[in-house]
Amino acid sequence: MTLLAVERIKLFSTRSPWWCAVAALVLTTGFTALVVGNADEEFPATVASTQFGYSFGLAVIMVLAALAVTTEYRFGTIRTTFQAIPNRTAALLAKTTVVALLSLVIGEIVAFASWGLSLLLQPQADLALNSTADWINVAGVGPVYAFAAVMAVAVGILVRHSAGAISLLLIYNLAVESLVSLIPNIGDDIYEWMPFNVANKFLTGAGASNAGRAAEAGAPMSTSPLSPGWALAYFAGVALVLLGIAIASARRRDA
């Protein structure tokens, strides 16, 4: 608990988490307002469509999480941290936990704010959360943000430099996964197992939350063969393996 309190003090005594939270909220709800606000018969508002913009916030969350580590390397406070807490595993796990919890909370706020805004914009549309798929599509954004934050923390620990870590994360998130599917023959098979594609499977499942809207009029569906539950487990597993590698490396390297 002590270590969690330490990381909480550290995180909230600087401004960047607040700015990132605001940016995630504004970008995601803004995009949702455009999608839902412009809905018509061909593109009806659905529960899924209220969350089309979640990857906007996701990118911001990953920046926040990476910065939480890389600024410590940049300003040398990571050394002060390891000096105060020589058990690096414990120190880094505490940091990851705090950043992941914050991301979870931001994810829920962003998701429900997007959904609530959609209710206001399209009062007559069927946006009620009346199935598991509907609930997962909205409330699932929080866990996805949380595990994405874990990945970003891990990359931050490995790369140490803000610019390097952030560009790596964003390029991967925005380009690498979708480009993989362009590789002939094997590309699609690999893409099925790319983590953010799988995370999308967790959120959207087989498309039930998008009922009433033609698939081609929505965001592309995930090609993952996993069930939503296993999809989340897979995404979380990738994040935790990455974190394990990062912590093992931090224990060995000079601070």
Partner 1 sequence: MPYLWPPPVITGTIGGVIEAAGLTKRYGSTLAVDDLSFHVEPGRVTGFLGPNGAGKSTTMRMILGLDNPTAGDVRIKGQHYRDLNRPLRTVGALLEAAWRHPGRSARNHLRWIARSNEIPQRRVDEVLELVGLTSVAKKKAGGFSLGMLQRLGIASALLGDPEVLLFDEPVNGLDPEGIHWIRQLMQALAAEGRTVFVSSHLLSEMSQTAQDLVVIGRGKLIYQGTTEDFIDRATHQSVRVRSPQLAELREALTRQGAQVDEDDGTLTVSGMDSDAIGELAFATGATLHELSPRRGSLEEAFMQLTGEAVEYHAGDHGAAPETT
Which spans of this chain sit near partner 1 (rule: CB under 8 A)?
A: 2-3, 5-6, 9-10, 13-16, 71-72, 75-77, 79-87, 252, 254-255
* b/e map 20-34, b = 16+ CB within 10 Å: bbebbbebbbebbbe
Smallest distance from the beta carbon of 133 to partner 1, in angstroms?
Answer: 42
| Distance of closest approach, residue 168 Cβ to partner 1, in angstroms | 23
- Return the number of the residue (6 or 113) whose C-beta is nearest partner 1: 6
State in angstroms the smallest separation of the CB of 85 from partner 1: 6
DSSP string, 125-175: S-----SHHHHHHHHTHHHHHHHHHHHHHHHHHHH--HHHHHHHHHHIIII
User: Which of residues 41 and 254 has its CB atom nearest to partner 1 in the complex?
Assistant: 254
CB of 193 closer than 8 Å to CB of 186: no
Q: Are 148 and 110 in contact (CB under 8 A)?
A: no
CB of 107 to partner 1, least distance (A): 24
**Which of 75, 135 has the CB closer to partner 1?**
75
Say how far residue 103 (Cα) sits from the centre of its chain: 8
What are 42's two structure tokens? 């061909």
Tokens of 207: 């498309």
Least distance in Å: CB of 21 to partner 1?
16
**Closest CB to partner 1 among residues 1, 128:** 1
Q: Which is nearer to partner 1, 48 or 153 (CB)?
A: 153
